[in-house]
């Protein structure tokens, strides 16, 4: 039997870096809801291009090729950046299988070894490229645990752009290493709420220890950007363009599975905004029951999105139009949401603390093509520790939610006396979350 290292080496070597993004909006039988303004009308290109780069605005409105082409060519300069770390590894979790006494197979797609340690560079690189082509001066954004902020700062540095990041205050204090990573790349990082904006100052005046939220950080980014003509907002999750850029993950995965003659029964991934998950499962979505272009030669795997039980957006939220930020500065998008004023609990998995889920994920959950489950923080940290013990890889707390649910699926299969081939997305590294693990397990007294 080949060991995990051999499998990873073979699987990565048999595929090439994708030269196109999969445009999932054209491969489902429903219209992806477009962003709305405050009056409930579809946003104009003029206003949207004052928020995002011109290219990203076109993607959000599904203009031109984005409204009808199933694949979108990736610019050569973006592919060159991807080649620094893609294709990412795909390997079998022999250690986890043994630890769980599972006779089935478990595989995982590794995005934890990407630059800055997560899947986020897949879209950060593209967004920085668009901004540079438009001759913008910089990009501004929000970040929770810091994976997105670190990726965007790095991508902006490589494109000669300024980068300003509003980082959720409790993560700013609890996860300093990702903040340092942003600053090493030249990013300007502010704890949100901050004194840099009027809304941030108001929140701090009311509560000097306000822990912040991703919605607040995005609202501050919008207020800050509104005074800068040559700066635009970059989003790592709550946009269709970010989800589309992440489809390089799933396209590689499909090839790697085919190279090993593996047909997955269950695909599992964590969801904050949902872009790593959508990217991971993207080639398998058209295989869903009822899809007109479902490949007959492939079976339909279950697609399971795993959120935090502390922020149960998909499992307990409502599906309607809502602002992406806390203050109503952004466009309204149709999504599952807990409401823009939702303030999450003080949990460690900062990347999962958002009040909504991306429109493409929300639509597919609403239509029943994707399942949604919730995992609590204790289960996630325990799963992350077990994965480290069995595989020698420490996952990000966000990714550990997916691993925890893999364990749930394994127990179900064992109870049924059956086996399933399970594949999950290891979306980020936990080595910049050592403090969180240490705090949770009481390592430091």
* pLDDT tens by residue, the chain, 445 residues: 334 444 444 444 478 999 999 999 999 999 999 999 999 999 999 999 999 999 999 999 999 999 999 999 999 999 999 999 999 999 999 999 999 999 999 999 999 999 999 999 999 999 999 999 999 999 999 998 899 999 999 999 999 999 999 999 988 998 889 999 999 999 999 999 999 999 999 999 999 999 898 889 999 999 999 999 999 999 999 899 999 999 999 999 999 999 999 999 999 999 999 999 999 999 999 876 544 444 445 678 999 999 999 899 999 999 999 999 989 999 999 999 998 877 766 555 455 567 899 999 999 999 999 999 999 999 999 999 999 999 999 999 999 999 999 999 999 999 999 999 999 999 999 999 888 898 888 865 4
Taking 3-state DSSP, the helix, strand and coil percentages for the chain, each rounded to the nearest 5, stand at 45, 15, 40
Instruction: Please give the pLDDT value at position 436.
Output: 85
Model pLDDT, residue 440: 87
Q: What is the pLDDT of residue 320?
A: 96
What is the per-residue burial (b if ≥16 Cβ within 10 Å, else e) of 85-112? ebbbbbbbbbbbbeebebebbbbbbbbb
Tell me what pLDDT residue 298 has.
63
pLDDT, residue 294, reads 47
Tokens read off for 40? 């409930």
DSSP 69-113: -SEEEPPHHHHHHHTTT-SPPEEE-HHHHHHTT-SS-EEEEE-TT
- Give, as one character, the DSSP assignment of residue 429: B
CB 128 within 8 A of CB 152: yes
Largest Cα span, the chain: 62
The DSSP element (H or E) to which 381 belongs, if any, is helix 377-391
Per DSSP, the three-state class of 36 is strand
Q: What is the pLDDT at residue 347?
A: 52
Which pLDDT belongs to residue 1?
34
Q: Are 77 and 391 in contact (CB under 8 A)?
A: no
C-alpha to C-alpha distance for 13 and 119, rounded to whole angstroms: 19
Instruction: List CB contacts of 422: < 8 A, sequence separation 6 or more.
Output: 104, 105, 106, 107, 264, 265, 266, 268, 406, 409, 410
Pairing state of beta strands 318-323 and 302-308?
unpaired
- The burial class, CB within 10 Å (0-12 / 13-18 / 19+), for 206 is exposed
């Amino acid at each position: 039997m080949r060991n995990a290292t051999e499998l990873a080496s073979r699987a990565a070597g048999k595929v090439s870096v994708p030269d196109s993004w999969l445009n999932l909006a054209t491969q489902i039988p429903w219209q992806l809801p477009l962003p709305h303004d405050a009056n409930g009308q579809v946003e104009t290109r003029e206003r949207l291009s004052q928020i995002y780069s011109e290219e990203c605005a076109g993607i959000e409105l599904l203009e031109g090729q984005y409204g009808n082409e199933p694949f979108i060519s990736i610019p050569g300069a973006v592919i060159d950046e991807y080649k620094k770390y893609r294709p990412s590894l795909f390997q079998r979790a022999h250690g986890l299988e043994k630890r769980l006494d599972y006779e089935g197979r478990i595989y995982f797609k590794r995005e934890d070894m990407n630059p800055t340690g997560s899947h986020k560079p897949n879209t950060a690189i593209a967004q920085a490229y668009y901004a540079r082509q438009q001759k913008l001066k910089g990009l501004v954004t929000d970040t929770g645990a810091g994976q997105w902020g670190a990726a965007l700062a790095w991508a902006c540095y490589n494109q000669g752009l300024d980068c300003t990041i509003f980082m959720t205050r409790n993560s700013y204090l609890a996860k300093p290493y990702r903040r340092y990573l942003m600053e090493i790349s030249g990013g300007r990082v502010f704890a949100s709420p901050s004194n840099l904006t009027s809304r941030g100052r108001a929140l701090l005046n009311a509560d000097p220890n306000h822990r912040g939220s991703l919605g607040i950080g995005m609202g501050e980014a919008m207020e800050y950007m509104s005074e800068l003509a040559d700066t635009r907002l970059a989003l790592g999750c709550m946009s269709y363009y970010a989800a589309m850029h992440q489809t390089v993950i799933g396209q590689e995965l499909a090839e790697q599975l085919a190279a090993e003659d593996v047909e997955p029964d269950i695909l599992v991934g964590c969801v904050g905004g949902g872009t790593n998950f959508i990217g991971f499962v993207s080639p398998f979505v058209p295989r869903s029951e009822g899809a007109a272009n479902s490949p007959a030669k492939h079976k339909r795997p279950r697609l399971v999105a795993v959120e935090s039980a502390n922020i149960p957006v998909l499992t307990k939220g409502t599906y309607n139009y809502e602002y992406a930020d806390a203050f109503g500065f952004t466009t309204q998008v149709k999504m599952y949401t807990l409401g823009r004023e939702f303030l999450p609990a003080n949990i460690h998995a900062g990347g999962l603390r958002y009040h909504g889920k991306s429109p493409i994920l929300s639509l597919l959950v609403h239509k029943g093509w994707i399942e949604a489950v919730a995992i609590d923080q204790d289960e996630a940290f325990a799963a992350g520790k077990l994965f480290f013990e069995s595989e020698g890889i420490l996952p990000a707390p966000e990714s550990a939610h997916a691993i925890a649910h893999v364990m749930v699926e394994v127990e179900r299969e064992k109870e049924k006396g059956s086996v399933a081939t399970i594949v999950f997305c290891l979306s980020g590294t936990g080595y910049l979350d050592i403090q969180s693990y240490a705090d949770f397990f009481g390592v430091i007294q």
